[in-house]
Amino acid sequence: MKKRYIELLQFLQQAKEDYVSGSELANIFNVTTRTIRNDIKEMNENYLEEVSIIGNTHKGYKLLGSITELQQSQDEFGERAFQIIKILLSKESFVTYDYLAQNLYFSTQTIRKDVQRIFQTIQSENRNIKVEAIIFQGIRIHGKEIDKRLLLDSLVSPSILNRMSVSEAIQYYFNDWIHSENINNIISIVESELAKYHLLLDAKELFTICINIVISMKRISNDQILTETDMILDKQQFEEWNVAKRLLVQLCPLFNIDVNDYEHQYLSYLFISLQVFPKTYEMNEINLADTDEVQETILKIIKRIARQYGIPLENHNRWESRLLMHITKSLNPLKYYFPIENPFILQIKSEYIAAYNMAVVLAKELQGSLKISIPENEIGYLALHMMNIMDSSQDTRHKIAIVYGKNQLVGNLLERKMNLYFPHIKIEGLYASNEMHLISQEIDTLITTIQMEDNHPIQEKNIIRVSEMITDDDVKSISLQLNRKLFEHYLSPADFFLLDELDQKGFLKSLTEQGNIEYLYDSILDRENMSSTNIGNLVAMPHPFDVGDNGKLRVLVAINKRKIIWGDQFAQIVFLFIPPIKQKVNNSSFFSEIYSVLKYSNLTSKLIEATSYKEFIEVWNSNE
């Protein structure tokens, strides 16, 4: 299904029972009303079964049914698509639509629609496979063996494990390819071999490994083997290779076959893409003085990114080596489009924003230099490595200063309580009221027991007033203000905007023009193309790859009059971050604080209603 179709369905779903006019949909998706009519016609005819889009000449369009029903329809299509590809893989000659319809117990018209959708899936996944259709003869597929296997694997839905065991699910898909006894043998051998490494696979991991083994064994039995036309043999054989080889030695007698090194490599690449082995097995670190040409290229990129973000790598060769090892291992699975699994990607994107942003920049440079495609899930793993480097290279805790009146004992008491209640805080110093001129300019937050004069120069900083004995109410106030008051330090009234745009590009175009940063527009779009900056709850946090001409981090906030599609979700409030000329990692705590506020939908809904900078800040600093 085209991305626009999915977005259109999501928009109509969120409109609930309301009709949406064709002209409004055309404006939102930047197409003509005729295109919207054609899209809806094609979706109703070729994609939608349990749900439908109805039209009214005067009112527009409305979705009948729910996304849940649509998902059920998609699952049904997925199962038919799997069976269609499985049949086509078993035939060298053309297969007629009538033959497929008779074997799958669906109408010829349904099978024709399915084949069309399968063809679109193949195109979207960059598979080296071609679907050939000839009138009166039927269809057939041809292409590289590795792509055929990965295509069939991609059509198996792990959601089946919600209602079946692993062995039952394998039999459900492959009952005509393998006996149930051998299914249990495969499961037992895989579990036993990986248990030697004290690895406990979850059901999804075990299922994915086993179905790939079943597919490989069947293809090899039919003389459809992997060769040099599918893959180049990797000179670097990691532990995954050794495990794959031992597994296949035990499995081959079950199917009375022999395998070559390409088969060993296929299974080892699957292990790497699934991240089966924990980091402890990945950390046979690379000697940075003994690297090949590709690794030298990777190292140069890592060092360049580190310099850009002010990370000193000189004393952190261990973490640099581990990142190099991870990238080196991932290169070939990425090259051959093995699916990368990362169940933590949403959490990584949202909670480790600074590290993820650096990982996106790293991924972009790696793609350009190594001619590979790096998906979002893999960027997530790069982000975890960047987070380790950041944590080991500098103290990323929020830095504050304590100001007390005349009695230093009060300051000491406050310091002890701050360390007890707020371990993520680093207290840079205690200052008496007459020593405030000694506070470093780098400190942007003060915890103080005294009342500051309105015209005092220190008022430029984030000031949190507490009592000398720091009560429970003080603790709550500190927690709230540390996460929110700092925002005012970065957002000026001139950088707050109210917009009425129809789509993401129009929104960013208007915002960059009004913020006098038009020169960063293309860079912001490039960043979005790598990975959407939508963090959910109608909030997006875009930023450019390039830095601005600002001396400190700059934040622009814009609230749009309506929801717009941003990535695969909707957004209405946007925080645009412009990195300073000297980009530093110490902004990471600020990103985390912003996220800690925005993840609460009740506050977001109130922020969207703000009509001025003053109202926005009042809501932001509220106790919601």
Ordered by start, the domain boundaries in the chain are 3-65, 69-154, 158-278, 283-393, 398-474, 490-620
Q: Do domains 3-65 and 69-154 have the same CATH topology?
A: yes
Instruction: Compute CA distances 316 → 12, 292, 388, 390, whole Å.
Output: 51, 20, 10, 10
CB 555 within 8 A of CB 524: no
> What is the fold, at CATH topology level, of the domain defined by 283-393?
PTS-regulatory domain, PRD (1.10.1790)
CATH of 490-620, one of 3.40.640.10, 3.40.930.10, 3.40.630.10, 3.40.50.300: 3.40.930.10
Taking each helix axis from N to C end, the angle separating 22-29 and 3-14, rounded to the nearest 10 degrees, works out to 130
CB 53 within 8 A of CB 12: yes
Its sign, for the CA torsion 343, 344, 347, 349, is negative
In the numeric block, which tokens belong to residue 376? 């979002």
User: Concatenated DSSP letters for 136-169?
Assistant: TTEEEEEE-HHHHHHHHHHTS-GGGGGTS-HHHH
Cα separation, 451 vs 600, whole angstroms: 32
Strand partners, 557: 496, 575
CB 350 within 8 A of CB 386: no
Beta strands across the sheet bearing 496-499: 496-499, 554-566, 569-578, 539-540, 534-536
pTM over 0.95: no
The least confident of 44-58, 87-101, 181-195 is 44-58
Strand partners, 401: 429, 446
In sequence order, which residues have a C-beta less than 8 Å from that of residue 485 and are 6 or more positions away?
445, 462, 463, 464, 621
Cα separation, 322 vs 328, whole angstroms: 10
Cα separation, 174 vs 170, whole angstroms: 6
Per-residue pLDDT reduced to its tens digit, 554-609: 899 999 998 888 887 889 999 999 988 876 545 666 676 677 667 655 788 889 99
CB 3 within 8 A of CB 11: no
* Greatest mean pLDDT among 25-39, 289-303, 333-347, 484-498: 333-347
Per-residue pLDDT reduced to its tens digit, 309-363: 777 776 667 788 888 889 999 999 999 999 898 888 888 887 788 889 889 999 9
Per-residue pLDDT reduced to its tens digit, 358-372: 899 999 999 999 999
Please name the residue that has the structure tokens 């031992």. 246
> What is the fold, at CATH topology level, of the domain defined by 69-154?
Arc Repressor Mutant, subunit A (1.10.10)
pLDDT of residue 281: 46
In the numeric block, which tokens belong to residue 44? 């109703």
The CATH code for residues 398-474 is 3.40.50.2300
Mean pLDDT of 135-161: 90
Please name the residue that has the structure tokens 């036993």. 192
CATH-assigned architecture of domain 3-65: Orthogonal Bundle (1.10)
Please name the residue that has the structure tokens 């200052």. 431
